[in-house]
Amino acid sequence: MDKIKISAVSYTNTLPFLHGIRHTDIINKIDLSVDIPADCAQKLIDNKVDIGLIPVAATLDLPYWEIVSDYCIGANGPVNSVFIFSNCKIEDIRTLQLDPQSRSSNNLARVLLKNYWKLDPKLVINAPDYTESNDPNTAFVQIGDRTFGKKDKYAYVYDLAEEWKNFTGLPFVFAAWIANKKIPAEFVAELNTSLKHGLDNRDVVIKELPARTDFDLEDYLMHKLDFDLTDDKVKALHLFIGYLKSLQKLTF
Ligand SMILES: C=C(O[C@@H]1C=C(C(=O)O)C=C[C@H]1O)C(=O)O
């Protein structure tokens, strides 16, 4: 059988999964690439890979998709790496610049703005530098490692997993292991075992990371991120996709 092609996320949040994959025999059965989330999604859409740890918002662009793992990148409350950073209160934001590496969180911001905050700022895709603006009423979405240590630098910081929980009472799934075709059950079982091995060895992963004083990596990987794809997370995933379908599609 040809090797199964897999694209995984290149952020710290995925290091436990990569540890599991690289330290179990599954590594010999797959072609693994590590990409920013937007590229994980695009590779699965373009059928360059069979499975991706893709932003769940990208399922709208897949004619066929199925979840192939019991694990995900999720959070039940604050996640500490998905934010709107702003110098004004949320209700005063007139322009929101989106993160080009994200698909889920940009759309989560849109869902929350419309349905929770009842706001309608102008959205900017592909701003030359989306994190910079001279306008005090322009804010931005940012995800992943680039947010580490930035929380104290802005007057207003909105953790989008926390805000989703305030809105729905549910956890949130940012990315899930999704296939664009049927995958044999034995492979799915092996993938789950390998991902679990990585999660069970998070202490090793944490020790290997360069220490930093401005961000608590242990708290992030052990507590803020919530990797089990529980029934509540699946419910949240479908609720989110439902909200997304009622919004105009964003084209990056
Ligand atoms: C929690 C995170 O989850 C992610 C957010 C994603 C998105 O917004 O599209 C995609 C993959 C995950 O890496 C994060 O990156 O901080």
Tell me the per-residue pLDDT of 130-153, one tens digit each, with 9 for 90 and over. Answer: 999 999 999 999 999 999 999 999
What is d(CA 21, CA 25) in angstroms, rounded to the nearest whole number? Answer: 8
Ligand 1 atom at shortest distance from the alpha carbon of 105 = 8
CA 11 / ligand 1 centre spacing (Å): 8
- pLDDT exceeds cutoff 80 at 127: yes
12 Cβ partners below 8 Å, 6+ apart? 144, 145, 148, 209, 217, 220, 221
- pLDDT exceeds cutoff 80 at 1: no
CATH number at residue 226: 3.40.190.10
What's the pLDDT at 251? 83
Domain final residue pick, 168, 186, 211: 168
- Whether 11 and 209 have beta carbons less than 8 Å apart is answered as no
What's the pLDDT at 2? 84
Q: Do 190 and 159 share a domain, yes or no?
A: no
Q: Do 215 and 233 share a domain, yes or no?
A: yes
Q: Do 113 and 164 share a domain, yes or no?
A: yes
Ligand 1 atom at shortest distance from the alpha carbon of 81 = 16
What is d(CA 108, CA 124) in angstroms, rounded to the nearest whole number? Answer: 15
User: Does ligand 1 have an atom closer than 6 angstroms to the CB of 11?
Assistant: yes
ipTM: 0.98
Q: Do 87 and 160 share a domain, yes or no?
A: yes
Confidence category of residue 249, pLDDT binned at 50, 70, 90: confident
| 252: in domain | no
Tell me the per-residue pLDDT of 153-166, one tens digit each, with 9 for 90 and over. Answer: 999 999 999 999 99
What's the pLDDT at 233? 98
Residue 4 CB neighbour total at 10 angstroms: 20
What is d(CA 23, CA 19) in angstroms, rounded to the nearest whole number? Answer: 6
User: Does ligand 1 have an atom closer than 6 angstroms to the CB of 54?
Assistant: no
Ligand 1 atom at shortest distance from the alpha carbon of 82 = 16
CA 246 / ligand 1 centre spacing (Å): 22
What is d(CA 193, CA 95) in angstroms, rounded to the nearest whole number? Answer: 44
In terms of pTM, does the model score above 0.95?
yes
End-to-end, the C-alpha distance of the chain in Å comes to 35
Over residues 74-80, mean pLDDT = 98
Ligand 1 atom at shortest distance from the alpha carbon of 103 = 9
Q: Do 109 and 233 share a domain, yes or no?
A: no
User: Does ligand 1 have an atom closer than 6 angstroms to the CB of 55?
Assistant: yes
What's the pLDDT at 252? 81
Q: Provide the domain count of the chain.
A: 2
| 250: in domain | no
Give the strands of the sheet with 4-9, arranged side by side.
30-35, 4-9, 51-55, 172-179, 66-75
Over residues 97-105, mean pLDDT = 98
| 251: in domain | no
Tell me the per-residue pLDDT of 171-220, one tens digit each, with 9 for 90 and over. Answer: 999 999 999 999 999 999 999 999 999 999 999 999 999 999 999 999 99
Per DSSP, 22 falls in state H
User: Which of the listed residues 105, 130, 158, 219 should we mutate to test ligand 1's pocket, taking the one with most ligand atoms within 8 A of CB?
Assistant: 105
- Whether 120 and 114 have beta carbons less than 8 Å apart is answered as yes
User: Does ligand 1 have an atom closer than 6 angstroms to the CB of 81?
Assistant: yes
- pLDDT exceeds cutoff 70 at 238: yes
Q: Do 176 and 241 share a domain, yes or no?
A: yes
Q: Whose CA is nearest to atom 3 of ligand 1?
A: 174
User: Does ligand 1 have an atom closer than 6 angstroms to the CB of 103?
Assistant: yes
Ligand 1 atom at shortest distance from the alpha carbon of 101 = 9
Tell me the per-residue pLDDT of 7-44, one tens digit each, with 9 for 90 and over. Answer: 999 999 999 999 999 999 999 999 999 999 999 999 99
Ligand 1 atom at shortest distance from the alpha carbon of 74 = 1
CA 144 / ligand 1 centre spacing (Å): 6
Domain final residue pick, 168, 200, 232: 168
Residue 37 CB neighbour total at 10 angstroms: 31
Domain final residue pick, 120, 148, 168: 168
